[in-house]
Chains A and B, each alone.
Chain A
Amino acid sequence: MKIGIVWNGIIRMYKKHKWLAFLLIVQCFVCTLLINMIFGTILKTHSSVSKFSRFIGSKSYYWVNDDPDDNIGFSRYMKNQNGEYKKLKDFYECLKREQSWKFLSVDRQFINIHSAGIPDKFLFQYEQGCPIESEDKSKKDVKCLHVSKNVFSEFGVTVSEGREFQNEDFHYDNGEYIPIILGHEYKDIFSLGQILDGEYLSETFKFKVIGFLPELTEIPVSGNTGTILCDRYIVMPAFSFNDNSEISFFDKASLDHYVSGVIISDLNFADVEERINRYILETGARKYSVNPEGSNVIKSLTSVSESELSRLIYIFIILTIFTIASISITVNGFIRENYYEYGVHLLSGATPRFLVKQIIGFITLIMSISFAISSIVGMFLISNLAPLVSLIFSVVVALLSSVFPINVVKKVDVNNLIRRQ
């Protein structure tokens, strides 16, 4: 019976202010939709920004590269005069062993894949406007990254399909397949488990697709400004032959590439450079240079994306406060409109609690209608999470926007109400 009276009061209030109530419903609906939109973006932004900051943005990088103009040194190395290969291998081991930094072998190369159906965007140097095009149209020189074991874990790289590299993938026996993980844009071209014929550093291999990277996977690569987007890359392990009794052309060429990599360290540049030069002297390896990542692209992306995230949260909070204030003020107006009626109710034996229930009921009705509409619209337009976000938002707004009107109702005095003071 009491519920019936409260309900009748709510409906009477609604009918009396049907235009205002309608506008409030529209406002709450728009706000809930807006909050859904911003919340969805905050979640996505937070996940990508925090991942980028944690795995890439928060680190100091130094690029290790050979001197591209040192043709004599390179020629001597490739001929393995004076045991140059062993010297470089020792230097490579020193880089990996050093405790004050992490050395990651990661560099760009190309693989010649025997497949005519690969679009031009995958070709090596495509984005630089000078893609390498083979005379044999059935073979394509495509972009490739070789990575050492620690690259995936260091940069938080995962696969969206298939599996990541395992320890045994970094050791190669003749006749085996070389496992490769393809960038996201390869998904429409190759499939998991597919075997591809190709050449890498003038050696013929069979490559097996073991996985695909998620969209927008980034890896900092030596000599590059910022990071490389791997969507159009083939990623392969920086492998070595198990049986290397004889030093082949491939051994020499691959080691030369593997030494080009990334150092992640808290040491300053002078210390890193001093250690690199010391190792070169100790091992007698040919000259390699080290340079800090000077473009600041990684640092700027991290700081800008983090500030973007805080901006979104800022808008989210402002809009929530605004909705609460707006409902509170409007409902407070309704209360003032109904002073006389409330006075009669109180004289007839109603308690302030009854009035409070009526106010809460009215706000709940408004929020419920807007919640229902925004959940349905949000589910189609924004995400499946929309009903949950709408529900939480509606409950919070309903509770908080009731506080001020309830306070007003609790303080009402029958004498004042009847005398319209």
Chain B
Amino acid sequence: MQIKKPRVVSIFAFLIFFVISFISCIVIDEIRQRANLISASRGYYGKSQIVFAADGASDKDVMESVKKIHGIALYKDDDINNIRQIFVNGNCNNPPLRSGRFFNEKDFVEDKSSENIAVIGKNKVSETTETNGQNYIMLQGVSYTVIGVVGTDEETPLNNTVIIKFNHDSYSGTKIYKIDVFDGNEDLVFSDISKEIENKTHLVPRKIIFEKVGLERILPEFNQKNLYILVMICLLISSVTISMEWANALKRRIAVKRLVGCGKFRLISEILFDYFKISLPAGIFGMLFGFIFVKEISLLSLFAVAISVLCGFIVTIPIVKKLLKVSVSEVLTR
């Protein structure tokens, strides 16, 4: 069987899609990691955080008031002992999970409220004990079942934290409450919570304007969304230019095929299939190669690779159509 010698432009097309996929993975992973680290160092994972004190109100009052607000996580931190109490309502972003699972709103339904479960930072794993394949951690004389381990590769305070369910009966800490906001406007959420607490206790919670925490103090603000959009535009244009270049190199072949009576539809589908045979494996190889270097395979990386390959592919359709309009004699006499 004779092996067809690949054309130079096809090799370039392969290489460029390989590189595009590879870079998409790397850049998106870098951006994701940065966001994770900043979240891990500052201690919240939503778009914003509200810090407030509710002087005179009990933890129970606060928790029951917060229960009515969706898309939030309520925290109460003990910075000295690295213990965080949490109450989750609705869909929330998790800290970087290493094993097991994080809390979800099902953990806070009435019949499960008495369960002592904990998610621990990776450095706390050594403090756990194992019984019948289940890990437990002791906190102030109470045993908690470990349901998950969180942490970052770099040393962040998250690695040393134990997160337990918000439990007003068993554990007290500071009188500062933090609300991680995932849905809705931060001010509106606080206004709703204030009303709920006020209705329940006749006390008005005091919002605390919190200073910058964690990495945000050192790293300058950096618009990752803009960076991501620009990177994607850059990669897409590259895939478009190489697609055009690839299609342009096919003029003679198209002319010959047209000369021998090949139909337009068949011609277009053949060319697009050829292109697909190059771009798809290149994209997959690039992505797989990229995944060797990235720390976590994210859906966003897969999406970015798919979009760039798809756009490079789609753009060839009008180019090939345009090529069909070129006179056969003109192409062949050149």
Contact = CB atoms under 8 A, between A and B. Distances in A.
Nearest to B30: A311
Interface string B229-249: 011011101101110110011
A8 interface: no
Interface stretch (B59-67, B214-222, B253-261, B275-283): B214-222
Interface of B is mostly: helix
B261 to A, nearest CB: 25
Interface in A8-62: 19-20, 23-24, 26-27, 30-31, 33-34, 37-38, 41, 44-45, 48-49, 52
Given A27-B238, A30-B237, A304-B215, 11 more contacts: A20-B244, A24-B241, A33-B230, A37-B226, A48-B220, A121-B208, A216-B218, A229-B212, A295-B157, A308-B37, A311-B30
B242 A330 contact: yes
A332 B82 CA distance: 59
Contacts of B188: none
> By CB atoms of chain A within 10 A, which of B8, B211, B241 has the most?
B241
8 nearest interchain CB pairs? A129-B53, A300-B155, A333-B245, A44-B220, A27-B237, A129-B176, A304-B154, A34-B230
A44 B226 CA distance: 18
Interface stretch (A83-91, A319-327, A389-397): A319-327
Nearest to A51: B218
A23 B237 contact: yes
Interface in A197-246: 216, 218, 225, 229, 231-232
B234 A27 contact: yes
A75 interface: no
17 contacts: A20-B245, A23-B244, A24-B241, A34-B231, A34-B234, A37-B226, A130-B175, A216-B217, A229-B217, A295-B157, A296-B157, A297-B157, A301-B214, A315-B30, A319-B27, A319-B231, A326-B16
A329 interface: yes
Contacts of A37: 223, 226-227, 230
Interface residues of B, number: 57
A421 B9 CA distance: 15
Contact of B218 (A34, A52, A225, A329): A52
A248 interface: no
B282 to A, nearest CB: 13
Instruction: Report the interface size class on chain A.
Output: 35 or more
Interface of A: 19-20, 23-24, 26-27, 30-31, 33-34, 37-38, 41, 44-45, 48-49, 52, 121, 126-130, 216, 218, 225, 229, 231-232, 295-297, 299-301, 303-305, 307-308, 311, 314-315, 318-319, 322-323, 325-326, 329-330, 332-333, 336-337, 340
B33 to A, nearest CB: 7
A37 B27 CA distance: 14
Given A296-B155, A305-B219, A333-B9, A23 B240 contact: yes
Contact of B41 (A31, A38, A301): A301
Contacts of B244: 19-20, 23
A299 B220 contact: no
B289 interface: no
Contacts of A33: 230
Most buried by B among A37, A129, A299, A340: A129
